Structure 1
Amino acid sequence: MDISSYARVAVNVPAISREFDYLIPEEFQGKISAGSLVEVPFNNRLLQGVVTRLVNIPEVVDVKPIISLVDPFPVLTARQLQLAGFLSETTMAPLCQCIDLMIPPGLSSQADTLVELIDGNESLDGLGQTEVRLMKQLIERGNLRLRQLEAAIPHVPLQGSIRKLQQAGKIKTRSILLPPRVKPKLIRTASLAHPIDSISNLKLAGQKAEKTQLRRQMALEFLSNEALPVDVTWIYAASGCTLADLVALQEMNLIVLHETEIWRDPLKNVIPLDQAKPVLTSDQKTAWETISHTLQQVNTGVKTRPMLLQGITGSGKTELYMRAVEDTIMARRQAIVLVPEISLTPLAVQRFLSRFPGQVGLIHSRLSPGERYDTWRRARAGMLPVIIGPRSALFTPLENIGLIVIDECHDDSYYQSDVLPMYSTQQAALKYAEICQCALLLGSATPDVTQLYEVHRGVWQHLTLPRRVGVYGNKTFLTSARGEVVQSEQSGFPSDDAGQSGLPHVEIVDMREELKAGTRSMFSRPLQEGLQKVLEAGEQAILFLNRRGTATYVFCFDCGHSLRCPRCEIPLTLHTTQDGLVCHHCGYKRQMPKSCPNCGSSRIKAFGTGTERVEAELKNLFPTARILRWDSESTQGKDSHEIILDHFTAHHADFLIGTQMVSKGHDFPLVTLVGILLAETGLNLPDYRAPERTFQLITQVAGRAGRGERGGRVLLQTYMPQHYAIQAASRHDLNAFYEVDIKERYRLQYPPFIRLARLLFQDMREKNCQEQAEKIRAAIAHKIEIENMGASSVGGALPCFFSRQGGYYRYQVLLRSPDPVRVLEGIPLENCRVQIDPPDLL
């Protein structure tokens, strides 16, 4: 056997952590390589897997052959395989789950079991309740996959009942592997079979009906003007012919019908901006010199340090990103540009399309499987040198990456914490940049404390944009949410440093004083006056609230009972648009009761503030105002973000009420006032990053004001005006916040001075959950003691802040260690989810 006779494969089963060797059959010799997607036998099942490398000598003697090659080209590059290995090692997740991050949805598949009814044995006599339900499903619907049965009979273990039915001879089972759910999209096209000089004089033999002959001649005339095969629907529209007509013409050897692949491109209807390349300000020029030099170094193979671009809101960071991408493309390399939210993607795409038409690909979870698959394939084929999207875009199979950009790098959405593998996009990008020998550029107005600490240690380069880029000379640009120029006045382009404007003035409103003065509204007197002036001036305002719904909670004024989710035990939130109470953790819903379920009192009231409640009170205060609400409830549709953004930018609304989404990098030139309600929300949460998040949110939201030539102001309502996060945010003073917060973290030994691992336990029985957590905590403590890991420590097994969710009790164990993975190695962790460097402790 030669060196390519065996392949090491990571099978797509999360419970299996190791890899297995398989024989490469003769028909696949030279076609299978590292990164190939294959089907393999595994015990009595068929599984899908990815080849991690080719080997000369297998680890075992009895080696089974690979059954088939799913895709003719590798689905992972060699560098992606290295990254998947790194993620598996550092997140303690199975390798197959890390690989799955890099394969588009619908291409990879897991094995399933087909359950088949044996003819003549449909009797239900003597069967248990679950077996009867299973049999009825099979009788009514025919053979079903196990996953289909589990969906039809939820929350009931089925394996035991299936075994009983097998033993009774009523059913049989076999392992199956479903084919990929996505495939290339083919359309029927037509072209002339050979050149025809004079269509009008052509006599179509055997044509009796004059209308039929006319239709077919018109189709031929249409095709005679087309150099390439044409979609038959165009021919139908131009000539009135049908498929039967085209088939007849093909039988007469006049045309050829083809099946032609078309790309499903989510950007096909996006109109690029028509914007000239601006002149850089002096701040931008200084930062660009460092970026340009770093790009030159990586393109010559020199190892470089990551770059942190700290630029205040509106300072022109995106222009530097685009110039960096431009230089990368000129060096014949590719670039990945990450944004934290899908809502930011359309704006970023339009800006980049204006500079790089036809070269930009979009990746995110709201694309259809076909759109995502085609964009992935075009990137793999080298057709798209620029990829834009949220964290998943990092795993696009580009062959020669020269630049990775992480915009708004402080954002917690860059950490995947809902499913395995739980990973940090920043840590993944740092490693990927090292593997690809490419430049890494991180940008934010409010980088987090650990990122700034890397700068202070000299590990990262530090670039700053301390001033805004505002009105350019005598020319003012107003752009829509999608980036189109909707208004421009006068002419001229900027000279250096022209038109820079400062950040908006922030005024702290002490709500304790407002209460003393008799104000009972959620809107302080200064905010009400400011909103009135905005309306009179024909301007716009944003009202930010880090809440959803109309009320924080609903409770009884007589007995104090609050309505809580029966599965999560957190307060239910009132939503008038949904006519009821909703749990924001598991989605549980119920009607608003007319009386207290505890004491029967009718004095059950909603208390607190939410976006719907803000909207209702605004309408009372300003009946003529046009109001938009932007939160997760109002953005369920595929294009809902863009619709809301365009609506507000086109001044079809005066006030925009929003949650965290409005804090992202949006440009609203007519917004001259931002009101921040309950600025201290979250400060008292039991999380060491609570002050940091509060500072970042306030600073980012404040940055939405004054981005046009009219300037702006921010009114920050709070009951904690002296808190250092509030004070620093009101002055836009990141350094002041950092100096206080870094000392607190050192005193309490939190990151960046130590690393954390959070072990999460869930069980429907609290006692079981606690016992599992205690058992693992004891094992960790024992290992720390016997291996003398004095720099590591483990906390108690304690309920999470959100102690119950979706019917499951939640406990956590917190490990502090310079190397938490080393401490956890060898400890059985099957019953818990491990977060290394978690974004929060809630």
Structure 2
Amino acid sequence: MSHFIDVILPLPLQKRFTYAIDEGEASFLQPGMRVAVPFGKSKVYTAIVAKIHQTPPQVYEAKPINQILDKQPLVTTQQLAFWSWIASYYMCAEGDVLKAALPGAFLLESESVVQLIKSANIEEADLKDEEYLVIEALQRQSSIKIQEVMKILDKKSVLPILNALVEKDLVVLNQEIYEQYKPKKVAFIKLNPDFDNEATMHQLLDELEKAPKQKEALLSYFTLKAKQPKPIKIKDLSEKSGVATAIIKSLVKKEILIEYQEKTDRLSYGGEASEKGIKLSELQQQAFSEIKEGLKELEVCLFHGITSSGKTEVYIKLIEEVINSGKQALYVLPEIALTTQLIQRLRNYFGDKVLVYHSKYSINERVEVYRHILEDSEKARIIVGARSSIFLPFANLGLVVVDEEHETSFKQFDPAPRYHARDAAIVLANLFKAKTILGSATPSLESYFNAEHHKYALVNLNRRYGDVLEPEIEIVDLKTKYKKKEMKGHFSDRMLQEIKETLKLGEQVILFQNRRGFSPVLECNTCGHSPQCPNCDVSLTYHSHNNQLRCHYCGYHIAMQRKCMACDSPEITTKGFGTEQIETELKSIFPEYKTARMDQDTTRGKYAYEKLITAFEQQEIDILIGTQMLTKGLDFRKINLVGIMNADNLLNFPDFRAHERSFQLMLQVAGRAGRTKKRGKVLIQSYNPHHQIVQQVSIGDYAGMYKDQLEERYNYKYPPFYRLIRLTLKCRDYSKTNDAADWIAIAMKNVFKEYVLGPEFPPVARIRNEYYKNILLKIPQQQSLGKTKLAISRIMESFRAISAFRSVKVVINVDPV
């Protein structure tokens, strides 16, 4: 009876591939194990076993696998089920999900290597010229890659020559698979057991009289040993005794101390859990009970708590209960910036039961976290992470908390799978029969709509913790200020007066501007020309710190121009403003205070966020200017003033979610103000102070915003009443992009009639020399989502069969945000 396995390859293939295995392998293999398999002519990939069966493939002959890489499954059955759901719901390949889900170190790819057999008996007379050249090269170096053999012989088809050498038993062709993960080892020392009793100890110390530093090191060793039962590092002993490591090494040479190495965790947490138990306020306690009550009947609870109402404490209390029952908890956050503050709080409560997982971690750190969770170790009780943490191999998940659930950064844009971590987390929790809590001060319309229609339980917490007052919000009319000449740069006199007063009191200021760079546009006063990016349809942004004009889409940059590139006029001015320009203006207005900025340009490194946040917490920074990174649930005690530099560029964005999003952003950033006893202040500068959204933000009217926006969405057929799928076509050829978009749109309109919008060019229609075109499909509530996707897949299959459109890429985005 022949045996086969279906595997998932880390490639964007529409289906699984089948390989042949023998009886022994069939009895050993389990779904979720890794196997190295040949694919194509010479490639070898790491694939995941998805199914073991006895049905041979119909269309091709199954190749045998190369080797089995695991003793135990690396991927759990729940993960496989979850991957398959993501692939079908978000219309992508399982291989795409596999690449997103596993740390790169697990997905080894091959480089074919030729090695000489050491015991080979080489008869030069029997070799052909080309074979001789290969053997000669192998005698000089132990192994050569196939690509190098091609260079030596200067021909493509080298496999027959190598096969001949293999038959003559002179070389082996092996697929060398590189393991990238190396556990971090640390050197520890311990006392040689021979000196463990008192008599030998005294004798030893007498002998060391002539070597005072070695004696000093040894005495320090005993002091450390008495204080802590933990193993002692050479580094620690050197610091404690003030003796160089070389002297400690000489004690090792004399065999008085023994050096040994241990694998350590890069993620260990040395501190103890310092805070015991949480005191919830009356309102928090009530919310806590309501959440537990709501989750008895429903799987998901929406926790609508205003900014600074103390949602985190309620989460911690809920997590505590889940852990005590022996299960794991997952805490998902939208931004890495948030994890740094939260981890500290969680570690104060739970000690080293907290693990962190996000994209700024090195491959080795991710592998360690992955293994801990897979083994369900004591360290993996609580997992905190950004969106990718939903792919971890949970053993027994009990609770998922999605904080700031309205955030758009939960949605993955590129590459596939274009999943939404909030929606996927709910499905993940269902696989484990676990509960989900979605928390936010400004819930997304879709989640609130679900709560209103009793799909989710709804719990409100509408008082700030410790009865702190909500900030006072004031709107500054920029039109009038400019007319009356009461502006200094981009600051109204009102804003400057408030900043001065706040700084005098020794308190901090946050200024929000959702554009990075110095100024978005450079314009010539004579002819109106502004420098454009040659690869994208956008103007270049001016960055003053390095005096460059940069494109934020493709990274193209040129030096700042002295004169207009079109008419040579020296009259060029900058229009619009970004975080960098505000920083420059502030430094000239308040030179004696420290200003800093938080945007993508200043937070590139792994620890950049932490450094900025810590410096701000310790009041080394007086004014922090930032983009939307600032709006997320950061908790700073000393902020008394929040300034929104320009509310209008948020509102005038061409997107049906623009109003909802600007309401959320402004209210969230306002929520950073006055989080202690003193009432904070928020100033919003706008050219349109009577705009409905600006007014709703000023009184924190979520219900009003929800009602208005819902009505508009109903009238214009948008979520939550209709589902959306967006198809984006990209190609370097303008007319091909147009033709392909028209072809797909016509095919879709034949099936879905008036629910197809487009094809339409997006606001930025060319990026990196590729033209973009969008088609939007609206799906009414009563229409089956599965059948809709099936119809789209069929249209896409026919489309891919047209050779003229080979070069056109189509990206399918389900539930775009």
TM-score band, normalised by shorter chain: 0.7 to 0.9
- State the match for 2:701 in structure 1: 733
Query: Secondary structure of the residue that 1:455 maps to in structure 2?
Result: helix
- Are the structure 2 counterparts of residues 539 and 256 from structure 1 closer, same or farther at C-alpha, using a change threshold of 3 Å? closer
Pick the aligned partner of 1:515 from 464, 482, 498.
482
Residue 466, structure 1, aligned to residue 478, structure 2: no
The Cα of 1:538 is off from its aligned counterpart by: 1.9
Query: Secondary structure of the residue that 1:356 maps to in structure 2?
Result: helix
Encode CA deviations 1:362-405: one digit per residue, 9 max, x unaligned. 10111121112112111211121100010111122120000000
- Are the structure 2 counterparts of residues 381 and 562 from structure 1 closer, same or farther at C-alpha, using a change threshold of 3 Å? same
In the aligned structure 1, how far is the partner of 2:541 from the partner of 2:114? 43
Residue 268, structure 1, aligned to residue 269, structure 2: yes
Aligned partner letter, 2:726: R
In the aligned structure 1, how far is the partner of 2:198 from the partner of 2:566? 86
The Cα of 1:774 is off from its aligned counterpart by: 2.2
- State the match for 1:835 in structure 2: 813
Query: Secondary structure of the residue that 2:648 maps to in structure 1?
Result: coil
In the aligned structure 2, how far is the partner of 1:710 from the partner of 1:775? 62
Which has the higher mean CA deviation after the structures are superposed, 50-59 or 597-606? 50-59
Residue 431, structure 1, aligned to residue 427, structure 2: yes
- State the match for 1:481 in structure 2: none
Encode CA deviations 1:309-351: one digit per residue, 9 max, x unaligned. 0111000110111011101001111000011100100111111
- State the match for 2:69 in structure 1: 70
Once the two structures are superposed, the pairs formed by residues 674-689 of structure 1 within 5 Å of their partners are 674-689=642-657
- Are the structure 2 counterparts of residues 652 and 828 from structure 1 closer, same or farther at C-alpha, using a change threshold of 3 Å? same
Query: Secondary structure of the residue that 2:758 maps to in structure 1?
Result: coil
Aligned partner letter, 1:392: S
The Cα of 1:709 is off from its aligned counterpart by: 1.4
Instruction: State whether residues 798 and 813 of structure 1, in contact with CA within 8 Å, keep that contact through their aligned partners in structure 2.
Output: yes
Once the two structures are superposed, the pairs formed by residues 21-60 of structure 1 within 5 Å of their partners are 21-23=19-21, 26=24, 28=25, 31-44=28-41, 45-59=43-57
- Please give the root-mean-square deviation of Cα atoms over the aligned residues, in Å: 3.7
Q: Which runs of 5+ in 2 are unaligned?
A: 116-127, 131-142, 164-172, 801-808
Aligned partner letter, 1:38: V
- State the match for 1:763 in structure 2: 731
Instruction: State whether residues 272 and 352 of structure 2, in contact with CA within 8 Å, keep that contact through their aligned partners in structure 1.
Output: no
Aligned partner letter, 2:415: V
In the aligned structure 2, how far is the partner of 1:409 from the partner of 1:145? 50
Instruction: State whether residues 499 and 509 of structure 2, in contact with CA within 8 Å, keep that contact through their aligned partners in structure 1.
Output: yes
Which has the higher mean CA deviation after the structures are superposed, 666-675 or 238-247? 238-247
The Cα of 1:71 is off from its aligned counterpart by: 3.2
- State the match for 1:292 in structure 2: 292
The Cα of 1:193 is off from its aligned counterpart by: 7.6
Pick the aligned partner of 2:369 from 375, 381, 388.
375
User: TM-score, with normalisation over the residues of structure 2?
Assistant: 0.84
Which has the higher mean CA deviation after the structures are superposed, 401-410 or 536-545? 536-545
Pick the aligned partner of 1:815 from 765, 777, 780.
777
In the aligned structure 1, how far is the partner of 2:724 from the partner of 2:368? 39
Instruction: State whether residues 315 and 466 of structure 1, in contact with CA within 8 Å, keep that contact through their aligned partners in structure 2.
Output: yes
- Are the structure 2 counterparts of residues 594 and 706 from structure 1 closer, same or farther at C-alpha, using a change threshold of 3 Å? same
The Cα of 1:165 is off from its aligned counterpart by: 4.5
Once the two structures are superposed, the pairs formed by residues 308-457 of structure 1 within 5 Å of their partners are 308-383=302-377, 384-457=380-453
Query: Secondary structure of the residue that 1:828 maps to in structure 2?
Result: helix
Instruction: State whether residues 218 and 239 of structure 1, in contact with CA within 8 Å, keep that contact through their aligned partners in structure 2.
Output: no
In the aligned structure 1, how far is the partner of 2:202 from the partner of 2:468? 74
The Cα of 1:218 is off from its aligned counterpart by: 8.0
Encode CA deviations 1:601-638: one digit per residue, 9 max, x unaligned. 11112111111111122223223232121111111222
Aligned partner letter, 1:587: G
The Cα of 1:282 is off from its aligned counterpart by: 3.1
Aligned partner letter, 1:354: N
In the aligned structure 2, how far is the partner of 1:537 from the partner of 1:196? 63
- Are the structure 2 counterparts of residues 15 and 720 from structure 1 closer, same or farther at C-alpha, using a change threshold of 3 Å? same
The Cα of 1:285 is off from its aligned counterpart by: 2.1
Instruction: State whether residues 450 and 751 of structure 1, in contact with CA within 8 Å, keep that contact through their aligned partners in structure 2.
Output: yes
Query: Secondary structure of the residue that 1:340 maps to in structure 2?
Result: coil
- State the match for 1:87 in structure 2: 86
- State the match for 1:622 in structure 2: 590
In the aligned structure 2, how far is the partner of 1:765 from the partner of 1:172? 43
Query: Secondary structure of the residue that 2:765 maps to in structure 1?
Result: strand
Instruction: State whether residues 468 and 678 of structure 2, in contact with CA within 8 Å, keep that contact through their aligned partners in structure 1.
Output: no
Pick the aligned partner of 2:678 from 687, 693, 710.
710
In the aligned structure 1, how far is the partner of 2:614 from the partner of 2:365? 24
- Are the structure 2 counterparts of residues 657 and 115 from structure 1 closer, same or farther at C-alpha, using a change threshold of 3 Å? farther
Aligned partner letter, 1:99: L
Instruction: State whether residues 504 and 712 of structure 1, in contact with CA within 8 Å, keep that contact through their aligned partners in structure 2.
Output: yes
Which has the higher mean CA deviation after the structures are superposed, 82-91 or 660-669? 660-669
Encode CA deviations 1:514-572: one digit per residue, 9 max, x unaligned. 12212343111211211121122222211111111111210111110011111112111
User: TM-score, with normalisation over the residues of structure 1?
Assistant: 0.82
Instruction: State whether residues 794 and 815 of structure 1, in contact with CA within 8 Å, keep that contact through their aligned partners in structure 2.
Output: yes
Encode CA deviations 1:426-451: one digit per residue, 9 max, x unaligned. 22112111111000000000111111
Once the two structures are superposed, the pairs formed by residues 599-618 of structure 1 within 5 Å of their partners are 599-618=567-586
Instruction: State whether residues 728 and 811 of structure 2, in contact with CA within 8 Å, keep that contact through their aligned partners in structure 1.
Output: yes
- State the match for 1:127 in structure 2: none
Report how many aligned residue pairs link the two structures: 756
In the aligned structure 2, how far is the partner of 1:715 from the partner of 1:775? 50
Which has the higher mean CA deviation after the structures are superposed, 402-411 or 60-69? 60-69
Query: Secondary structure of the residue that 1:40 maps to in structure 2?
Result: strand
Aligned partner letter, 1:75: L
- Are the structure 2 counterparts of residues 212 and 165 from structure 1 closer, same or farther at C-alpha, using a change threshold of 3 Å? farther
- State the match for 1:281 in structure 2: 281
- Are the structure 2 counterparts of residues 664 and 171 from structure 1 closer, same or farther at C-alpha, using a change threshold of 3 Å? farther
Residue 798, structure 1, aligned to residue 798, structure 2: no
Once the two structures are superposed, the pairs formed by residues 633-672 of structure 1 within 5 Å of their partners are 633-672=601-640
Which has the higher mean CA deviation after the structures are superposed, 174-183 or 731-740? 174-183
- Are the structure 2 counterparts of residues 62 and 821 from structure 1 closer, same or farther at C-alpha, using a change threshold of 3 Å? closer
Query: Secondary structure of the residue that 1:758 maps to in structure 2?
Result: strand
In the aligned structure 1, how far is the partner of 2:416 from the partner of 2:670? 35
The Cα of 1:642 is off from its aligned counterpart by: 1.6
- Are the structure 2 counterparts of residues 234 and 715 from structure 1 closer, same or farther at C-alpha, using a change threshold of 3 Å? closer
Query: Secondary structure of the residue that 1:443 maps to in structure 2?
Result: strand
In the aligned structure 2, how far is the partner of 1:282 from the partner of 1:215? 61
The Cα of 1:114 is off from its aligned counterpart by: 7.4
The Cα of 1:773 is off from its aligned counterpart by: 2.0
- Are the structure 2 counterparts of residues 32 and 653 from structure 1 closer, same or farther at C-alpha, using a change threshold of 3 Å? same
Aligned partner letter, 1:18: R
The Cα of 1:411 is off from its aligned counterpart by: 0.5
In the aligned structure 2, how far is the partner of 1:40 from the partner of 1:714? 60
Encode CA deviations 1:674-703: one digit per residue, 9 max, x unaligned. 111111213222211111111111100111
- State the match for 2:121 in structure 1: none
Which has the higher mean CA deviation after the structures are superposed, 229-238 or 538-547? 229-238
- State the match for 1:528 in structure 2: 496
- Are the structure 2 counterparts of residues 164 and 427 from structure 1 closer, same or farther at C-alpha, using a change threshold of 3 Å? farther
- Are the structure 2 counterparts of residues 58 and 701 from structure 1 closer, same or farther at C-alpha, using a change threshold of 3 Å? same
Aligned partner letter, 1:81: L
Which has the higher mean CA deviation after the structures are superposed, 169-178 or 55-64? 169-178
Which has the higher mean CA deviation after the structures are superposed, 751-760 or 336-345? 751-760
Aligned partner letter, 2:12: P
